[in-house]
Amino acid sequence: MKRRIFLQAIVASTIGLSVVASAANPVIEVYKSASCGCCEGWVKHLREAGFTVNAHDVANPSDYREKAGLPNELGSCHTAMVQNYAIEGHVPAAEIKRLLAEKPKAKGLAVPSMPMGSPGMEGARKDAYDVFLVRADGRYTVYKHYN
Protein backbone atom coordinates (compact mmCIF):
# COMPACT_ATOMS: atom_id res chain seq x y z
CA MET A 1 0.00 0.00 0.00
CA LYS A 2 2.80 2.42 0.88
CA ARG A 3 4.48 1.66 -2.44
CA ARG A 4 1.28 2.50 -4.35
CA ILE A 5 0.96 5.85 -2.53
CA PHE A 6 4.63 6.58 -3.22
CA LEU A 7 4.21 5.82 -6.94
CA GLN A 8 1.05 7.95 -7.12
CA ALA A 9 2.95 10.85 -5.53
CA ILE A 10 5.75 10.53 -8.10
CA VAL A 11 3.27 10.48 -10.98
CA ALA A 12 1.39 13.48 -9.57
CA SER A 13 4.60 15.50 -9.12
CA THR A 14 5.74 14.63 -12.64
CA ILE A 15 2.43 15.78 -14.10
CA GLY A 16 2.64 18.94 -12.01
CA LEU A 17 6.15 19.67 -13.26
CA SER A 18 5.11 19.21 -16.90
CA VAL A 19 2.19 21.62 -16.39
CA VAL A 20 4.55 24.18 -14.84
CA ALA A 21 7.08 23.64 -17.64
CA SER A 22 4.46 24.16 -20.33
CA ALA A 23 3.26 27.34 -18.64
CA ALA A 24 6.83 28.60 -18.40
CA ASN A 25 7.62 27.58 -21.97
CA PRO A 26 4.66 28.47 -24.17
CA VAL A 27 4.39 26.45 -27.36
CA ILE A 28 4.58 28.47 -30.56
CA GLU A 29 3.44 26.92 -33.84
CA VAL A 30 5.41 28.53 -36.70
CA TYR A 31 4.27 28.30 -40.34
CA LYS A 32 7.12 29.09 -42.72
CA SER A 33 8.67 28.32 -46.08
CA ALA A 34 11.18 25.44 -46.07
CA SER A 35 13.78 27.55 -47.86
CA CYS A 36 13.64 30.64 -45.63
CA GLY A 37 16.86 31.09 -43.65
CA CYS A 38 15.68 34.13 -41.71
CA CYS A 39 12.67 32.14 -40.47
CA GLU A 40 15.09 29.57 -39.05
CA GLY A 41 16.96 32.41 -37.35
CA TRP A 42 13.73 33.64 -35.75
CA VAL A 43 12.84 30.13 -34.57
CA LYS A 44 16.31 29.86 -32.98
CA HIS A 45 15.75 33.26 -31.28
CA LEU A 46 12.45 32.01 -29.80
CA ARG A 47 13.99 28.78 -28.53
CA GLU A 48 16.87 30.69 -26.93
CA ALA A 49 14.24 32.86 -25.19
CA GLY A 50 12.65 29.77 -23.63
CA PHE A 51 9.77 29.08 -26.00
CA THR A 52 8.95 25.60 -27.25
CA VAL A 53 8.69 25.91 -31.04
CA ASN A 54 7.03 23.58 -33.51
CA ALA A 55 8.11 24.73 -36.97
CA HIS A 56 5.98 23.67 -39.94
CA ASP A 57 7.18 24.03 -43.53
CA VAL A 58 4.18 25.04 -45.63
CA ALA A 59 3.66 25.95 -49.26
CA ASN A 60 2.11 29.34 -48.58
CA PRO A 61 2.73 30.89 -45.12
CA SER A 62 0.49 33.86 -45.99
CA ASP A 63 -2.52 31.52 -45.83
CA TYR A 64 -1.96 31.37 -42.07
CA ARG A 65 -1.80 35.17 -41.79
CA GLU A 66 -5.13 35.33 -43.61
CA LYS A 67 -6.70 32.66 -41.36
CA ALA A 68 -5.56 34.63 -38.31
CA GLY A 69 -7.22 37.78 -39.65
CA LEU A 70 -4.05 39.86 -39.77
CA PRO A 71 -3.95 42.69 -42.34
CA ASN A 72 -1.96 41.93 -45.49
CA GLU A 73 -0.04 45.20 -45.18
CA LEU A 74 1.57 43.78 -42.01
CA GLY A 75 2.73 40.67 -43.84
CA SER A 76 6.13 39.07 -43.53
CA CYS A 77 7.68 35.70 -44.34
CA HIS A 78 6.17 33.58 -41.55
CA THR A 79 3.17 33.42 -39.25
CA ALA A 80 3.00 31.83 -35.82
CA MET A 81 0.31 31.03 -33.27
CA VAL A 82 0.72 31.06 -29.50
CA GLN A 83 -2.07 30.90 -26.91
CA ASN A 84 -4.71 32.11 -29.41
CA TYR A 85 -2.57 35.02 -30.63
CA ALA A 86 -1.10 35.35 -34.11
CA ILE A 87 2.51 36.49 -34.48
CA GLU A 88 3.50 37.80 -37.91
CA GLY A 89 7.11 38.27 -38.91
CA HIS A 90 10.24 38.93 -36.90
CA VAL A 91 8.63 39.89 -33.58
CA PRO A 92 11.15 39.87 -30.70
CA ALA A 93 10.53 37.20 -28.05
CA ALA A 94 10.36 39.91 -25.36
CA GLU A 95 7.27 41.41 -27.01
CA ILE A 96 5.61 38.00 -27.30
CA LYS A 97 6.23 37.41 -23.59
CA ARG A 98 4.78 40.85 -22.83
CA LEU A 99 1.70 40.06 -24.94
CA LEU A 100 1.16 36.77 -23.11
CA ALA A 101 1.56 38.46 -19.73
CA GLU A 102 -0.77 41.39 -20.51
CA LYS A 103 -3.35 39.31 -22.43
CA PRO A 104 -4.95 42.19 -24.37
CA LYS A 105 -8.05 41.64 -26.47
CA ALA A 106 -6.17 41.43 -29.75
CA LYS A 107 -5.45 39.23 -32.73
CA GLY A 108 -1.72 39.42 -32.12
CA LEU A 109 1.54 41.13 -33.02
CA ALA A 110 3.23 41.90 -36.33
CA VAL A 111 6.52 43.18 -37.69
CA PRO A 112 5.92 43.90 -41.39
CA SER A 113 8.49 42.99 -44.02
CA MET A 114 11.85 41.80 -42.79
CA PRO A 115 13.68 44.71 -41.11
CA MET A 116 17.43 44.37 -40.74
CA GLY A 117 18.43 43.97 -37.11
CA SER A 118 15.20 42.26 -36.05
CA PRO A 119 15.44 38.70 -34.64
CA GLY A 120 16.43 36.38 -37.46
CA MET A 121 17.63 39.32 -39.57
CA GLU A 122 20.77 40.14 -37.59
CA GLY A 123 23.74 41.61 -39.40
CA ALA A 124 25.90 44.71 -39.69
CA ARG A 125 22.94 46.96 -40.54
CA LYS A 126 20.24 47.69 -37.99
CA ASP A 127 17.06 49.45 -39.16
CA ALA A 128 14.47 51.04 -36.91
CA TYR A 129 11.18 49.12 -36.92
CA ASP A 130 7.85 48.87 -35.15
CA VAL A 131 6.07 45.95 -33.55
CA PHE A 132 2.34 46.44 -34.09
CA LEU A 133 -0.47 45.23 -31.86
CA VAL A 134 -3.35 44.10 -34.07
CA ARG A 135 -6.53 44.70 -32.13
CA ALA A 136 -9.59 42.45 -32.28
CA ASP A 137 -11.25 44.80 -34.80
CA GLY A 138 -8.24 44.53 -37.16
CA ARG A 139 -6.92 48.03 -36.53
CA TYR A 140 -3.37 48.26 -35.28
CA THR A 141 -1.18 50.49 -33.18
CA VAL A 142 2.54 50.60 -32.34
CA TYR A 143 3.20 48.23 -29.46
CA LYS A 144 6.95 48.85 -29.32
CA HIS A 145 9.41 50.84 -31.41
CA TYR A 146 12.96 49.57 -31.93
CA ASN A 147 15.86 51.82 -33.00
Mean confidence (pLDDT) of the chain: 88
> Is residue 7 assigned to a domain?
no
> Is residue 10 assigned to a domain?
no
> Is residue 139 assigned to a domain?
yes
Under a CB-based contact definition with an 8 Å cutoff, are residues 130 and 146 in contact?
A: yes
Residue-range definition of the domain harbouring residue 42: 26-146
Q: Which residues contact 113 (CB under 8 A, 6 or more apart)?
A: 75, 76, 89
Report the pLDDT value the prediction gives residue 16, as an integer from 0 to 100: 45
CATH of the domain at 122: 3.40.30.10
Report the pLDDT value the prediction gives residue 116, as an integer from 0 to 100: 96
Strand extents, DSSP E, the chain: 27-32, 52-57, 79-82, 85-89, 106-111, 129-135, 140-146
> Is residue 127 assigned to a domain?
yes
> Is residue 112 assigned to a domain?
yes
Q: What share of the chain is helix, strand, coil (3-state, %, to 5)?
A: 35, 30, 35
How many domains does the chain contain in total? Answer: 1
Local confidence band at 100 (pLDDT 50, 70, 90 cut-offs): very high
SS3 state of residue 131: strand
Q: What is the pLDDT of residues 28-80, one digit of tens each?
A: 999 999 888 889 999 999 999 999 999 999 999 999 999 999 999 999 999 99
The pairing of strands 85-89 and 106-111 is parallel
> Is residue 6 assigned to a domain?
no
> Is residue 60 assigned to a domain?
yes
Report the pLDDT value the prediction gives residue 18, as an integer from 0 to 100: 40
> Is residue 118 assigned to a domain?
yes
Half-sphere exposure of 43 (CA within 13 A, CB side): 20
Instruction: Name residue 22's amino acid.
Output: S
